A and B are shown apart, each in its own frame.
Chain A
Amino acid sequence: MSDKRLLLLNYALFALYGVLTVGFQTSLWVQLLGGFPAPHFWIPILAYWALYRIPREGVLMTYITTFIIGSVTALPLGMFLLINLTLYLAAAGIKAKFYQPGPIFFAFICAAMSLLFMPIHWIYSLVLETNPIVDLEVLNWIAQSTLTPLLAFIVYPIFCIIDDLTQKDLPTEVGRQFG
């Protein structure tokens, strides 16, 4: 397979992960666990691409992910994109300062992004919307921020396998063993 096709396949597989897991979060999770908060399933994609890709690719994947999963929420697409890009920038900023190789740092980045999601959403809502969020779902926020890093440990090897299959350079770190 040519390099271009492999690159496209890499994007497509990550997008497929996004579709499947977000579909799971919005439908099956509800059927199985009712109102119990679900982790942010799409955040590991943003975290992985913020850590292990060049900024141009990472930003492109943030756009792709947002457009794909934007249809399953009433959150306006522009707002969702703004939040995701801010999260991406935050992750890139943390990476620039304190990068550590391995799945633990990946999980830490996922936790930070998940933790930041609601405050960023709330601030943008206050600034940009005429009817901003007034009632913050704090318990949901705590639960989601706790579950997302746990999810990160599960998806990290999957992402490494995708990179391995598409011959993308694996992250040069301890986590390579998962690939």
Chain B
Amino acid sequence: MDIKQNNRMLERENAELRAQLGTMTELKLENERLNQLIDFKSRTKMQLLASRVVGQDLVPEHSTITINRGTYHGVEQGMAVLTVGGAVGYILQAELLSSQVILITDRFSAVDALVQRTRARGIVVGMSRELCNLNYLKRGDDVKKGDMIVTSGLDNIFPKGFPVGEVTEVKQSEYGVTQYVELKPAVNPNNLEEVFVVLNAAEEEFVPKSEEAPPEDSKSDDLAIKKEKSALSQIPGGIGVE
């Protein structure tokens, strides 16, 4: 009898501990996400409002989310919504205590953007739940698979240089003035839990790390010049280049 009772008690205890473990894991993950958000907020000059995703669109053909911040908290229509990883969308409609955010993957959204590498400009529009298009990119513009697309800042919604997505496909038809560019958003807008509303971009400009340090090409150019200089200086009667 005792063994049976003990077994039942241990099973119950095990179930309770498992439930606690699940809650703790969830809390740990949330803590990590929030730490990332706090870290991002402390590093930027932008005035950001943290908010939680509380809902999604009624119709699956439209990509919008609802956040728990509204006009009462200073949210206005057209404000940018982003997260640490990249642009999420912008405020479509602001109510008193909640707001509807149109995601960059919605076919009604439009975000002015640049190809980070070549600065070619286009408009990012939504295509499906997980993909976007970069429209109006001229046929001659240099873009290739793997290029990062960033916000241009010209729409006065997003800060300049913030990641939007990565090019996954480029197609050029035989005729036409533009090219077809497909991109995968930098953040998966369907798995969001916490986001930031940009109350004031404060002319924030995100400089990619690759631009902060001299590019690889210029490094190799410098090396070539140094080698040339030393070679010239070794030539008897040669030109002493300083």
Residues of A within 8 A of B61 (CB): 75, 118, 121, 125, 133, 136-137
Q: What is the bound-complex CA distance between A69 and B55, given in angstroms?
A: 14
Does B100 have its Cβ within 8 Å of any Cβ on chain A? yes
Residues A35 and B107 in contact in the complex (CB < 8 Å), given A27-B55, A74-B57? no
Does A72 have its Cβ within 8 Å of any Cβ on chain B? yes
> Nearest chain-A residue to B103 (Cβ)?
A74
A30 adjacent to B102 (CB under 8 Å): no
A27 adjacent to B54 (CB under 8 Å): yes
B127 adjacent to A134 (CB under 8 Å): yes
Does A109 have its Cβ within 8 Å of any Cβ on chain B? no
Residues of B within 8 A of A110 (CB): none
Nearest-neighbour CB distance to chain A for B171, whole angstroms, equals 15
Chain A binding site: helix, strand, loop or mixed by DSSP?
helix
Number of A residues, CB within 8 Å of B: 25
> Nearest chain-A residue to B128 (Cβ)?
A135
Contact of B58 among A26, A135, A137 (CB under 8 A): A26
A74 adjacent to B64 (CB under 8 Å): yes
Q: What is the 8 Å Cβ interface bit string for chain A, positions 53-82, against chain B (1 contact, 0 not)?
A: 000000000000000010111110000000
Contact of A135 among B93, B100, B108, B129 (CB under 8 A): B129
Chain B interface size band reads 20 to 34
Residues of A within 8 A of B118 (CB): none
Residues A131 and B59 in contact in the complex (CB < 8 Å), given A27-B54, A27-B66, A74-B106? no
Residues of A within 8 A of B107 (CB): 131, 133-134
A residues 1-55 touching B (CB-CB < 8 Å): 22, 25-27, 30-31, 35, 37
Q: What is the bound-complex CA distance between A131 and B133, given in angstroms?
A: 12
Residues A25 and B128 in contact in the complex (CB < 8 Å), given A73-B64, A74-B108? no
Residues of B within 8 A of A121 (CB): 59, 61
Q: What is the bound-complex CA distance between A72 and B106, given in angstroms?
A: 15
Residues of B within 8 A of A131 (CB): 107-108, 125
B55 adjacent to A26 (CB under 8 Å): yes
Q: What is the bound-complex CA distance between A121 and B57, given in angstroms?
A: 15
Residues A73 and B62 in contact in the complex (CB < 8 Å), given A35-B190, A131-B108? yes
A-B contact list, 9 entries, CB within 8 Å: A26-B56, A26-B57, A30-B56, A72-B55, A73-B59, A74-B108, A121-B59, A125-B61, A144-B60
